[in-house]
Every structure is written in structure tokens, then in C-alpha cells.
Amino acid sequence: MANPYPPLTDAPALTPLLLRGALLSPFKRPRADAEFPRTRLVLPGVRVDLAKLAAYERVCGFPTGDDALPITYPHVLGFPLAMRLMSCRTFPLPLLGLVHTSVEITRHTAVPATGEYELTVYVDELTPHRRGTEATVTTEMRTGDTLVWESRSTYLARHRTEAQPPRATEEPLPLPTVAEWRLGEDVGRRYGAASGDRNPIHLHPLTARLFGFPRAIAHGMWTAARCLAAHGTPERALARAEFRAPVLLPGTVEYAALDDRFALRDAAGRVHVEGFVRPPVA
């Protein structure tokens, strides 16, 4: 398949990509065996805007002024490239209604905020899911030839599938509550300003209602970052977060944690996010 993308010299703007993806969505018919773009988007010479980083750290609860980037911040740097791929005509899943279901991050070493990096983003695979088709998007960050950080995000397009029984999993014991967080109505707008992700479902109740939500919902990556900021992560870490249910804004949630596991849930026990932080696999 020919490469439909010119070489990158800067991160693309997110809003035009959202609009393009929305316009193309009605013409896409997702299926797990569809062709998908095999292009690897590479952006060299990436440097961090320290003012935007500080705003991100504040809204997510990370300490400000540290030399090393928060473990989730490279996702913000790579997200415009991922959006460029997922909003393209050749990407088979409709961007409208696409649900971020999980993220797995490996930090191989501390990533200084003042460094210069190369980002690579590509669609790794499409897989069948009991509720539709899931795409896996991989992001890699390098300094020189050294891989310092990588992630795999899964995005689900819901559609009719052949009936599949749910996977049998052993339910872990509930985690003890560590803190209660009262989330303001403006969390989505603050995170959107810091990250550049201004999806309308996160910004205002009126725009969220257009997509079927009673109120604005928090970004999934904000919930993961907020939990990881509270949990703490070592210099070398493997972190995974699975997004189970949206967090409505404003709202109150419980942060729970024990050993390497964490979760975010409401007072009734409904889990919004759950995950773990462990040493990376050697």
C-alpha cells in the first residue's frame, strides 16, 4: 500500500483531524479482517513545551518541576500522530464512537523533560472483540537509537458480531479505598488545554449530550494519569490501565490501591479504571 502521508516535521493539529475523522466515519464498515494502514509515522526532533508540561502535571496531580517526564506524558506527544492514522481514509474503523479501552506503557528509563526525541506511531493490528473490532496503536519514543518509552493503546469500534461468550476471568479481591476525589466540571477543559485533546465529549455538557452522554466525561488518559500520579511509578516501569466506564463531570470517585494494583470507582463500587504498575519484563 502506498504511503499516503508526507514526511512529518511537526505534530499535526488535533482539531482538523477530529473533523476529518468525523466526516469519514459514516462511510466506514468495521470488521476485524479489514486492511489497515501499515505506515509508520515518524516525527524527529521532538522537544517538550515546558509550560504545557507544567499545566499537564498540575491537572493530573504529578509533581511539577521534576526533570523526568511523567510516565503518561509521551502519550500526549504521540497522540496527534495516532489521530492522523485513525482519521485517515484508509483506517477501517470509524473515528466517531471509537472507545479507548486500554493502555499499556513501558518506561525503559527516565525520560528527561529537556531531551530531544523521535516518535514513531503505527497501527499494530486489528482483532475481533465480543462487542466489535479493536485496533492496537503502538507509540515508541527514542533518543538516538535507544528505545526509552513505548505504549500500546487499544481502541474499540462497536458493531454487530457473531455471538461470543464473555471471557472467563477470576475476579481479584476489591482494593481498599485510599482517597476520595471530588472532580470539578472543568477537568475535561483543563486536561484538553494541557494535552491538546479537545474532543467535545470532554468539554461541556451540551456538546457531550450530542454524543449520548448526560454530562461531559473525563478523558480516559486523564483518569489513568491521575491514578498513576497517586500510585507512583519507578524509573523503569510497566503500567497498564483498562478503561471500564466513563467518569461523569462533575463527580466524586474513590481511588483504591494495594501493592501494585490500583482502581478508580464510584461510591456504589462501579469500576471506572483498573490497572497495575510493575517492573518491566526483562
Q: Tens digits of per-residue pLDDT, 69-84?
A: 999 999 999 999 999 9
| 190 or 29, greater pLDDT | 190
Q: Which value, to the nearest 10 degrees, does the dihedral of the CA atoms of residues 156, 59, 84, 42 take?
A: -110
Q: Tens digits of per-residue pLDDT, 31-54?
A: 889 999 999 999 999 999 999 999
For residues 24 and 94, the answer to whether their CB atoms sit within 8 Å is yes
Looking at residue 68, the DSSP 8-state letter turns out to be B
d(CA 148, CA 107): 6
Of the candidates 126, 118, 46, 33, the residue with the CA atom closest to the CA atom of residue 86: 126
148 pLDDT above the threshold of 80: yes
Cell numbers standing for residue 226: 491521575
Q: What is the pLDDT of residue 1?
A: 44
Q: What is the pLDDT of residue 26?
A: 87
Q: What residue spans of 196-253 are helical by DSSP H?
A: 205-209, 220-231
192 burial level (CB within 10 Å; 0-12, 13-18, 19+): buried
Half-sphere exposure of 80 (CA within 13 A, CB side): 18
Chain centroid to Cα 241, Å, comes to 9
Q: What is the pLDDT of residue 2?
A: 45
Cell numbers standing for residue 76: 500526549
Q: What is the pLDDT of residue 170?
A: 66
First to last CA, the chain: 35
Q: What is the pLDDT of residue 90?
A: 94
CB atoms within 10 A of CB 143: 16
Number of residues that this document lists for the chain: 282
On whether the pTM is more than 0.85, the answer is: yes
d(CA 26, CA 9): 31
Q: What is the pLDDT of residue 167?
A: 64
Q: What is the pLDDT of residue 275?
A: 98
pLDDT band, residue 218 (cuts 50/70/90): very high
Q: Tens digits of per-residue pLDDT, 229-282?
A: 999 999 999 999 999 999 999 999 999 999 999 999 999 999 999 999 999 986
